[in-house]
Amino acid sequence: MNRYISALLLLGLVSCQDRYDAEKRILLDLHVTDQQGNSLAGKHMEIFADDGSDYYIGGDSDLITYGNTDSNGNIRLVFPVRENYASVYALNFEGDDEFEQTSYTLIKESDCVDYKVPVSALTLLRAEETVTLSIESVPVSNQQLFWLTIEGPHSGNIAYSMPESDFDSNSYYYSDFQVAKNSSILIKYITNLNGALTRHEQTVEIGTEDVQYVLNY
Amino acid sequence: MKKITTLLAVLFFISAFGQEKKEKAWKKDIHADPLLRAYVFYPLATGNNTLAKAHRENPGIGINMSFVSIYNFHIGAGYHYTQYLVTDRALAGNFRHSNYWGLYPFVSYELPVHKYASIWPEAGLGYAKIKQTYSGERVSNQEGAEFRLSLFADYRFSRYFSIYTGANYIYSKMRIAANPEIRDFYGSLSQLQFCLGFQFEGRPNHPKEDWQDNKTDSNIQNP
């Protein structure tokens, strides 16, 4: 009897295990600055492996590597590829007394160039340096808005990648973002017309006040 | 580990007890020559690689055994294991330990330098594996090959028992797909191992007996 209980416990343990392939490793070289361009030392950066089902870093995410930036604001993080779930990763700064939480989620192995994440710089923002960008999506055609994200200095979670075409079409997206004052923000979105996906981009100039942006699609 | 140890022990005893009959049929310079070594070692990871830069060394254990001798060359196989502690998780990943083990065939040559002592150069080529773990929650595996060069010396206390000490240099070429900037950091590893251990012998005609004067039987006096 004890043998069966042990076997079941072992099976449970193995099924909960996160397995990685150390024969494939992804590199991230990052330079971390504030909005004024000053290098930030001692900032704690993390990489989570995720199954890609969420837009944010959730309970199913596994912390696979972490470290602090050096005196020049640089950090090198290297992590193995996860084997038993979809290979989606998130770069996260969890925030501290001075700077807001910031992350890029949905970084895919296929986004990497020669096993290197194509993100080399991260700007951290103080709370007083951000304004809210609210995007109001207004349909003007038969298309459906499939996905939406932004690119530019921000705090909070944003998706690095647009989803693949077979991505769950019911996935939600954020419409409110904390972005840097006096910055240019690129809105990236995908529309769906009878299963045909089209990618679009629009630039929004941000000043010192909150922005309500109407996105016609 | 247990299976490998059992297998080596079985092979050792088979060759030890089976040698009397076999030797008659064998040529003079090719004969069963069972020799078992068990040792502890302290590794020193060298070079610019993950073991040297992102880990701390811990003592390891090893066992090796030769079965046959051909013109004083000894042919055998060995196993060694050590657990490195991860000290830089930014480079090694969020793991506590990296367990390195190798399984290898080898060739060694015995150079008797004294009635009770020999020097042994040795070379081997085998399989290597690194398994990284974090309390069973997270694991990763990496396989490769290792090339070994060793030099050690033994001192014989009795016909069957010696102590020995020496060093192994191990170069490991691990499988890796990564950016060229870091490929060698994870794919080309090197380590030195400083060993101390025991040697058990079952040889009927020990080469060191040639050093004894006026001895015709196979017994040897303790030093």
pLDDT at residue A27 greater than cutoff 90: yes
Q: Across residues A36-49, what is the average pLDDT? A: 95
Minimal CA–CA distance to B103: which of B65, B70, B56?
A: B65
By mean pLDDT, which of A51-60, A126-135, B41-50 is the weakest? Answer: A51-60
The position carrying tokens 């060359």 is B73
Q: Which residues contact B59 (CB under 8 A, 6 or more apart)?
A: B40, B41, B42, B43, B82
Contact B62, B41 (CB under 8 A): yes
pLDDT band per the 50, 70, 90 thresholds, residue B16: very low
Compute the Cα dihedral for A38, A43, A48, A53 and give only its sign. negative
Burial, A29: exposed, middle or buried (Cβ in 10 Å; 0-12, 13-18, 19+)?
middle
Strands A154-159, A102-108: parallel, antiparallel or unpaired by DSSP? Answer: parallel
Q: Which residue has the higher pLDDT, A169 or B204?
A: B204
Kindly list the residues from chain A whose CB atom is less than 8 angstroms away from the CB atom of residue B179: 27, 114-116
Residue A77 sits at the chain B interface (C-beta within 8 Å): yes
Q: Across residues A42-55, what is the average pLDDT? A: 83
Q: Which residue has the higher pLDDT, A149 or B152?
A: B152
Q: Across residues A129-151, what is the average pLDDT? A: 88
pLDDT band per the 50, 70, 90 thresholds, residue A18: confident
* Cα gap A181→A207, rounded to integer Å: 5
pLDDT at residue A2 greater than cutoff 70: no
Q: Residue A105 CB: number of other CB atoms within 10 A?
A: 24
Report all structural domains of chain A as residue ranges with CATH numbers, in order of start.
15-124 (2.60.40.3330), 129-217 (2.60.40)
pLDDT at residue A6 greater than cutoff 70: no
pLDDT at residue B196 in the model: 97
**Length reported for chain A:** 217
Joined together, the tokens standing for residue B198 give 């025991």
List, as ranges, residues 89-128 from A with C-beta within 8 Å of B. 114-116
By mean pLDDT, which of A138-142, B125-129, B150-154 is the weakest? Answer: A138-142
Q: Which residue has the higher pLDDT, B136 or B82?
A: B82
pLDDT at residue A94 in the model: 92
DSSP 8-state secondary structure symbol assigned to residue A120:
-
* Cα gap B133→A74, rounded to integer Å: 27
* Cα gap B68→B72, rounded to integer Å: 9
Phi, psi of A8 (to 5 degrees): -65, -40
User: 3-class SS at A214?
Assistant: strand
Q: Residue B80 CB: number of other CB atoms within 10 A?
A: 25
Compute the Cα dihedral for A107, A113, A117, A119 and give only its sign. negative
Q: Across residues B157-180, what is the average pLDDT? A: 95
Strands A130-138, A211-216: parallel, antiparallel or unpaired by DSSP? Answer: parallel
The position carrying tokens 């890796």 is B176
Residue A18 sits at the chain B interface (C-beta within 8 Å): yes
pLDDT at residue A155 greater than cutoff 70: yes
Burial, B145: exposed, middle or buried (Cβ in 10 Å; 0-12, 13-18, 19+)?
middle
Is B178 in contact with A27 (Cβ distance < 8 A)? yes
Residue B86 sits at the chain A interface (C-beta within 8 Å): no
By mean pLDDT, which of A62-76, A83-97, B95-109 is the weakest? Answer: A83-97
* Cα gap B209→B181, rounded to integer Å: 55
Task: Give pLDDT tens digits for B53-93.
Answer: 999 999 999 999 998 888 889 999 999 999 999 999 999 99
Is A78 in contact with B182 (Cβ distance < 8 A)? yes
Task: Give the CATH class of B2-211.
Answer: mainly beta
Q: Which residues contact A119 (CB under 8 A, 6 or more apart)?
A: A28, A30, A91, A104, A107, A160
pLDDT at residue B182 greater than cutoff 50: yes
Compute the Cα dihedral for B176, B177, B182, B184 and give only its sign. positive
Substitution target from A23, A47, A91 for chain B, most B beta carbons within 10 A: A23
Closest residue in A to B141 (Cα) is A22
pLDDT at residue A147 in the model: 81
Beta strands in A69-141 (DSSP E): 74-82, 88-93, 102-108, 121-124, 130-138
Residue B137 sits at the chain A interface (C-beta within 8 Å): yes
DSSP 8-state secondary structure symbol assigned to residue B25:
H
pLDDT at residue B4 greater than cutoff 60: no
pLDDT band per the 50, 70, 90 thresholds, residue B209: low
Most confident segment among A30-34, A138-142, A160-164, B212-216: A30-34
Amino acid identity of residue A170, one-letter, is N
Q: Residue B106 CB: number of other CB atoms within 10 A?
A: 19
pLDDT band per the 50, 70, 90 thresholds, residue B22: very low
Shortest distance between the Cα of A21 and any Cα of chain B, in A, equals: 5
For residue A65, give the nearest of B90, B137, B186 by CB distance: B90
Task: Pinpoint the alpha helices (H) of chain A.
Answer: 2-16
pLDDT band per the 50, 70, 90 thresholds, residue B221: very low
Closest residue in B to A118 (Cα) is B179
What is the number of alpha carbons within 13 Å of residue B133 lying toward its C-beta?
9
- Helix-then-strand count for chain B, H and E: 4, 10
pLDDT at residue A59 greater than cutoff 70: no
DSSP 8-state secondary structure symbol assigned to residue B4:
H
Q: Which residue has the higher pLDDT, B60 or A15?
A: B60
List, as ranges, residues 90-109 from B with C-beta within 8 Å of A. 90-94
Longest dimension (CA), chain A: 70
* Cα gap B190→B181, rounded to integer Å: 18
Domain positions in chain B are 2-211
Closest residue in B to A113 (Cα) is B179
Task: Give pLDDT tens digits for A74-129.
Answer: 999 999 999 876 678 999 999 999 999 999 888 888 889 999 999 999 999 999 99
First CA to last CA distance, chain A: 63
pLDDT at residue B215 in the model: 44
* Cα gap A183→B201, rounded to integer Å: 78
